[in-house]
Every structure is written in C-alpha cells, then in structure tokens.
Amino acid sequence: MLVGVGGLGPGDPELLTLRAVRLLGGGVGGLCPPRKPCLRLGKTLPPRCCRPQLPDDERRGLHPNVHGGENADRIAPHAKDGLAVFGIIGDPNFYSTFSRLCEVIATRYPEITFATEPGISSITAFASVANVPVAGGFLVSDGNGPESRIFMKVRRPAALAASLSKEGYSEFVLVERMFMPEQRVYQGGDELPEKSDYFSILFARRPHA
C-alpha cells in the first residue's frame, strides 16, 4: 500500500499530526519529493523518515507527464512489499501531484492500493497566517474553471444533489461525522439520505469535458 501523508510544508514539524509522524516512522519506505521544505523537515524526524529516493531535480518535481513511469517504478517496490509512506507538502488531496502519481502507478501496478492522511493545506494555512476569518461560501481555484463544489453542514443531501444535477453535476460523495465513531461515507451507487447530520460534507463534481 502507498499512503500519501500531508503536512510536510512549510517545514514546521509541529504542524504534523501524531498519526503522520507514526506513519512516516513505520513505513518500509519513507519517501518524499526532493524539495527543500521536505528535506529540512526530514532532519527533525526519525532517521527512517523522508529518505529522498526520487530524482533530485526540483524543477521537474513529480509530474508524471514529465517523468512518465520513472517515479512509479521507483516507488512501486516499496508499496508492493508493505506500507510505503509518501510525505508531501500540504494536503494530499488538494491540487496535489500525489493523486496524479497514483494514477500512473495504478496503470502500471494495479495490485497496489492507495490511501491518504490529511494534512494542513495552503487554504487553511493562509487563513491562519494572515489572520483572516472565513465565513460564508468561497471559491478556490488553481486558475481553471471549478469542476467541483463542496458543501458543509448539509441537512438535506438528496434534495441538494437533485438540484445540482440540473447544473451538470453527476458525481456525489457525502461524509457524515468524519473521524468520529459514527462516521459514514456515501459514494458511488449509494443512495443519498433525505436528511443528514449537522457534521456533514457533500462533494459534487461535474464530469471532465
């Protein structure tokens, strides 16, 4: 299994979660991109953590369109033998090269499974550093038009999904009470409930053009 662990940047080890430290110290391959914040943080963790085993040309990064399967071939032996932990900057699910890397590995090595552990994203870190309180809806973009929307505190998810379907959204994921004992995830063919818990998030995505 390959696990993407977020929170390595901007380099403060106190921003890592306890679970992230445990995973980084227990994987068969403590991997990380060869970027300075990751390497600086690696010095503060157990020797096994964050061993850079990828190309050290920072300009090339990890984008599979540049490297093809090179990074996949380097990482796959660790992930096939046990738990391979990949430490990255920010959160592994928000504008991350980790997800693109997983797509390449899944094509070349379909037997490998994937998971992620959340980290502090630049979105939440910015609000903290700049002391900017955020309330109400807001838009986050990497410069492209938004293809996804996230709704918090969704009380009537089925009705909301039906309304969004009229706008072209076709993929929905609902998470109730995440990381709590009562956590439940609705996705794929699961039918969304009429009513949901206050601690709920609905993810909606349009199909790729």
Distance CA 112, CA 102 (A): 9
Q: What is the pTM of this model?
A: 0.74
Ordered alpha helix ranges (H), 87-133:
97-108, 122-129
Please name every residue paired with 203 in a beta bridge, in sequence order, or none if there are none.
150, 173
Answer whether residue 48 shows pLDDT above 70: no
Domain ranges of the chain: 2-123, 148-205
Answer whether residue 52 shows pLDDT above 80: no
Q: By the 8 A CB rule, do 127 and 178 touch?
A: no
Distance CA 94, CA 140 (A): 10
Distance CA 155, CA 58 (A): 45
- Name residue, tokens 């994937």: 114
Put the strands of the sheet holding 84-87 in their side by side order. 29-31, 84-87, 2-5, 114-117
Q: By the 8 A CB rule, do 200 and 175 touch?
A: yes
Does domain 2-123 fall into CATH 3.40.1010.10? yes
Answer whether residue 57 shows pLDDT above 50: no
- Please write the tens of the pLDDT for every residue from 2-46: 988 887 655 567 788 888 878 877 655 555 555 555 555 555 555
Residue 115: both structure tokens together: 């998971």
